[in-house]
Amino acid sequence: MSSRAEIRAEADRLFAAFQAAGAAPVEADILQPAETLLDLYGEDIRARAYVTQDPLRGEMMLRPDFTVPVVQAHMAHGADPARYCYLGEVFRKQDHPGRQASEYLQVGFEVFDRTAPEAADAEVFALFSSLLAPCNLRPATGDIGILMAAVRGLGTTERRRAALLRHIWRPARFRALLDRFSGRAPVAPARAELLARLASDKAEALIAAAGPMTGLRSGAEIAARAASLLEDAQTPPLAAPEAALLYDLLSLQAPAGAALAHLRGITAMLPAIAPAVDRFAARLDALEARGIDTASLPFEASHGRSTLEYYDGFVFSFESAVKGPPVASGGRYDALTAVLGQGRSIPAVGGVIRPALVAGLKGAAT
Amino acid sequence: MTLKIGVPSKGRLMEKTFEWFGARGVIMARSGSDREYAGAVDGIEGVELVLLSAGEIPRELAAGRIHLGVTGSDLVRDKLADWSSQVAELAPLGFGHADLVLAVPVSWVDVETVDDLDAAAAAFRRAHGFRLRIATKYHRLVREFLTAQGVADYQLVDSQGATEGTVKNLTAEAIADITSSGETLRANHLKILSDGMMHQSQAVLFAARAADWQPETRRALDTLYSMLAIDARF
């Protein structure tokens, strides 16, 4: 265990390095409006963030991360392009005693730049890689943009593509949907019964027969979904080769150079991913130019797909041999800037380091 | 030092608990006047009865202020984080059965499963501009269930009572609550999702891991183990 002073010194060292790399230091309130975070992450964030009540502002959360307030500040009055860094505590509720810290320092670096996203990805990763070099960590990288492009290009209905995209960060749900849409999972008996009942009469008649109507959800909304269920039941399953490619993509795990060759190989059969694969290639070139060996850099197409995330392109983390959270993690979150920017957006990439873990590894090494 | 056992202080849960222990030779009774929350135990030495609200028993167990406690398995799972690290289940008592279920209006003819609820929640949020509201008092259990199922675009709204009425009152679109017969749900024009069973609850005898387990309280526990024919150990 490192002392607080050692952790603070490590945090200051990293913060200074981010400033030396051209980032402007920014501050963020510890008390954040709960509503913004809940709308973004959904109810799951309640299990992870400390919620408290402000007599005037309503429900507030102790800052669970810096990304949201930093993006908000940038969208409100930021220069373009901009590089920011920050240092401060974040708070995460832990449901299991003694395993993980519920309050710890984060040092972060974020790049908002429209000109060359792949170069910015490489800049962030290379900076983290050099700062963390003394810790001997295992890097992991991924690219959620390739998976999203593959889903957007699927030869099926817009409704099915939207359902898959909505659950792209919930791997189990995504998998269940894919199994259903590809015909690998049989139609559940409950669903078959429901379809038979919906097909037996007009939705309005079924609703009237079901009993008194209660609640905000209107008859029109119910009828619309009933119609879409019947329509979906008529939708043919994904073509087998296309489905197979998507399953292949979900499990793709290889050194980045080899992964690129593999993706190039399947692009002919999955042309929708071509632009995303081109971006992946450009990123590898940019990483090489910064001295990262992409022939050995680990790549997983599904890396970074977990709830409470918002990455939609390049993702990375640095893990130690010790069991626990990654020492550093980050990625690209272009869509988040659109959500928080009220109509405006800017390509953005960044990451955070946990100085307590860095100090612990350095302390163990000496 | 005596072994403290926390028991619900009133109603059927108290009577059934007294019956269950009584049938096994541990005679519990309230002492003093009808209104006084004091109790006594006969048939075993070194055991003290503590009458508590069933809802507070999980907290008292977690704090170790009582050694054993009888309460619903739903309350322990909902109120205690990582419950099995804080308390041990010694014996299910076979009464106080209730199911924690998800229920939606009967008029939702398009919704029968959790999967349907998830899809309806996405459409509801688009149409109404806010996340579909589920009224409940079982926040942890419901959230953990819905997270595990990968449901999105919902919010939990707190309801400490008359939860079945929240849909009619337009303060929620769906509910998650305990039911034994489903009658109140039906009376309020709600139906249970076919795969929306989150927990099947019953009264359980729990042991507190954090309690002060001295040799004499351990001895009293051993006597209880044999009188109550409990095989579980913690």
pLDDT of chain A, 366 residues: tens digit per residue: 689 999 999 999 999 999 999 999 999 999 999 999 998 889 989 989 999 999 999 999 999 999 999 999 998 888 889 999 999 999 999 888 777 899 999 999 999 999 999 999 999 999 999 999 999 999 999 999 999 999 999 999 999 999 999 999 999 899 999 999 999 998 888 889 999 999 999 999 999 999 999 999 999 999 999 999 999 999 999 999 999 999 999 999 999 999 999 999 999 999 999 999 999 999 999 999 999 999 999 999 999 887 667 899 999 999 998 888 999 999 999 999 998 988 889 999 999 999 999 999 988 776
Q: How far B28 CA sits from the closest chain A CA (Å)?
A: 35
Q: Is B188 on the interface with A (CB under 8 A)?
A: yes
CB B229 within 8 A of CB B90: no
What is the average pLDDT across B44-72? Answer: 95
pLDDT of residue B234: 81
Taking CA–CA distances from A164, the nearest residue in chain B reads B119
User: Angle at Cα A334 formed by Cα A132 and Cα A73, nearest 5°?
Assistant: 85
Phi, psi (5° rounding) for residue A316? -150, 160
Q: Is the pLDDT assigned to residue B95 strictly greater than 90?
A: yes
A&B contacts, CB < 8 Å: 120
In the structure, what pLDDT confidence band is assigned to residue B35 with cuts at 50, 70 and 90?
low
Q: Is B106 on the interface with A (CB under 8 A)?
A: yes
Q: For residue A336, tell me if it sits in a domain.
A: no
Taking an 8 Å cut-off on Cβ atoms, the answer to whether B152 and A96 are in contact is no
Instruction: Based on the fold, state whether residues A120 and A246 are members of the same structural domain.
Output: no
What is the average pLDDT across B48-54? Answer: 93
Q: For residue A332, tell me if it sits in a domain.
A: no
Give A-chain residues touching B194 at CB under 8 angstroms: 190
Give A-chain residues touching B107 at CB under 8 angstroms: 207, 210-215, 219, 222
pLDDT of residue A366: 63
In the structure, what pLDDT confidence band is assigned to residue B38 with cuts at 50, 70 and 90?
confident
What is the average pLDDT across B66-70? Answer: 97
Q: Is A211 on the interface with B (CB under 8 A)?
A: yes
Q: How far A101 CA sits from the closest chain B CA (Å)?
A: 16
Instruction: Based on the fold, state whether residues A198 and A299 are members of the same structural domain.
Output: no
Instruction: Based on the fold, state whether residues A144 and A57 are members of the same structural domain.
Output: no
Give A-chain residues touching B122 at CB under 8 angstroms: 163, 166
What is the average pLDDT across B80-99? Answer: 95
Instruction: Based on the fold, state whether residues A37 and A79 are members of the same structural domain.
Output: yes
> What residues 254-313 of chain A have any CB closer than 8 A to a CB of chain B?
307
Residues with Cβ within 8 Å of residue B129, at least 6 apart in sequence: none
In the structure, what pLDDT confidence band is assigned to residue B10 with cuts at 50, 70 and 90?
confident
Give the domain range for residue A71.
Answer: 1-137+345-366
Q: For residue A299, tell me if it sits in a domain.
A: yes
Q: For residue A60, tell me if it sits in a domain.
A: yes
Q: For residue A35, tell me if it sits in a domain.
A: yes
Taking an 8 Å cut-off on Cβ atoms, the answer to whether A188 and B113 are in contact is yes
Instruction: Based on the fold, state whether residues A249 and A298 are members of the same structural domain.
Output: yes
Q: Which domains does chain B have, with CATH numbers?
A: 3-97+202-227 (3.40.190.10), 98-201 (3.40.190.10)
Instruction: Based on the fold, state whether residues A27 and A84 are members of the same structural domain.
Output: yes
Domain count, chain A: 3
Instruction: Based on the fold, state whether residues A49 and A119 are members of the same structural domain.
Output: yes
pLDDT of residue A189: 87
Taking an 8 Å cut-off on Cβ atoms, the answer to whether A38 and B155 are in contact is yes
Q: What is the DSSP letter of A312?
A: -
Q: Is A98 on the interface with B (CB under 8 A)?
A: no
Instruction: Based on the fold, state whether residues A163 and A289 are members of the same structural domain.
Output: yes
- Helix (H) or strand (E) segment spanning residue A354: none
Give A-chain residues touching B109 at CB under 8 angstroms: 197-198, 203, 206-207, 210, 222, 226
- Is the pLDDT higher at A305 or at B155? B155
Q: Report CA-CA distances (Å) from B21 to B3, B27, B42, B205.
A: 15, 6, 11, 11
* Buried b or exposed e, range A62-82, using 16+ CB within 10 angstroms: bbbbbbbbbbbebbeebeeeb
What region does A75 belong to: left with phi over 0, alpha with psi -120 to 50, or beta? alpha
Instruction: Based on the fold, state whether residues A296 and A241 are members of the same structural domain.
Output: yes
Pure H helices in A78-157: 117-132, 144-152
Rounded CA gap, B53 and B10, in Å? 8
Rounded CA gap, A89 and A66, in Å? 9
Taking an 8 Å cut-off on Cβ atoms, the answer to whether B143 and A43 are in contact is yes
Q: How far B156 CA sits from the closest chain A CA (Å)?
A: 7
Q: For residue A330, tell me if it sits in a domain.
A: no
CATH code of A246's domain: 3.30.930.10
Give A-chain residues touching B111 at CB under 8 angstroms: 225
Instruction: Based on the fold, state whether residues A77 and A209 are members of the same structural domain.
Output: no
Q: For residue A272, tell me if it sits in a domain.
A: yes
What is the average pLDDT across B87-97? Answer: 96
Rounded CA gap, B175 and B190, in Å? 9
Instruction: Based on the fold, state whether residues A257 and A154 are members of the same structural domain.
Output: yes
Q: What is the pTM of this model?
A: 0.91
User: Whose CA is closest to B58, among B48, B46, B71, B47?
Assistant: B71
Q: How far B4 CA sits from the closest chain A CA (Å)?
A: 25
Instruction: Based on the fold, state whether residues A151 and A286 are members of the same structural domain.
Output: yes
pLDDT of residue A360: 93
Give A-chain residues touching B146 at CB under 8 angstroms: 43
User: Angle at Cα A243 formed by Cα A238 and Cα A249, nearest 5°?
Assistant: 150
Q: Is B113 on the interface with A (CB under 8 A)?
A: yes
pLDDT of residue A144: 94
Q: For residue A335, tell me if it sits in a domain.
A: no
Q: Is A159 on the interface with B (CB under 8 A)?
A: no
